[in-house]
Amino acid sequence: EIMASDITVCHRPGCPVSWRPVICLEEKGLSGYNSKHFSAEELSAKPEDLLKINPRGQVPAFMHGDVIVNESIGICLYIENTFKNQGTKLLPDDPAKQALVFQRMMESSNINYLGAAVVAYVRKKPEDRDEEVLAEKGKALVKELHIWENYLAQNVEGPFITGKDFTLA
């Protein structure tokens, strides 16, 4: 394991986008990094220590020495490229396989968006909800999940979304 005390990652428990960088750090075998958890309530207050890393006060936020990266996929690509020869190889060398990993990484925003839309709507007061709107949001999410189920069903190389190896996707 490599000590990574000069790395700080800010994230929110329960937020998949926010946990991607943490998973990458763990897969790379990096230990001793500074992990800062922020609750949704804390994030709404825009804490000063988070604003120093990300002026939008959003997570994930990442700092490695003087390098700051504040978008989940960008952080993951930075970690993979910076620590390429350590831990799990998260990006294949083959350009076609890389393209598939990049495509699935970008496509995952569809699940995040549709899932968040359903959750946000369900959290509304019952009197403020329209069941037809909720049903439409649910149908859109189910349709997207079927696409991902098909990706997995068509994948003959292995158990992960892009094949036999765990990747950034």
What's the pLDDT score for residue 150?
93
What mean pLDDT comes out for the span 111-139? 91
Tell me the pLDDT tens digit for each residue of 87-108.
999 999 999 999 999 999 999 9
Name 88's Cβ contacts closer than 8 Å, sequence gap at least 6: 27, 28, 29, 166
Residue at 110: amino acid letter:
N
Tell me the whole-structure pTM to 2 decimals: 0.86
Residues of the chain with pLDDT > 90: what percent? 79
Which has the closest alpha carbon to 20: 146, 163, 166?
166
Asked whether residue 16 carries a pLDDT value surpassing 90, the answer given is no
Angle (CA) 135 138 142, round 5°: 135
pLDDT tier at 15, thresholds 50, 70, 90: confident
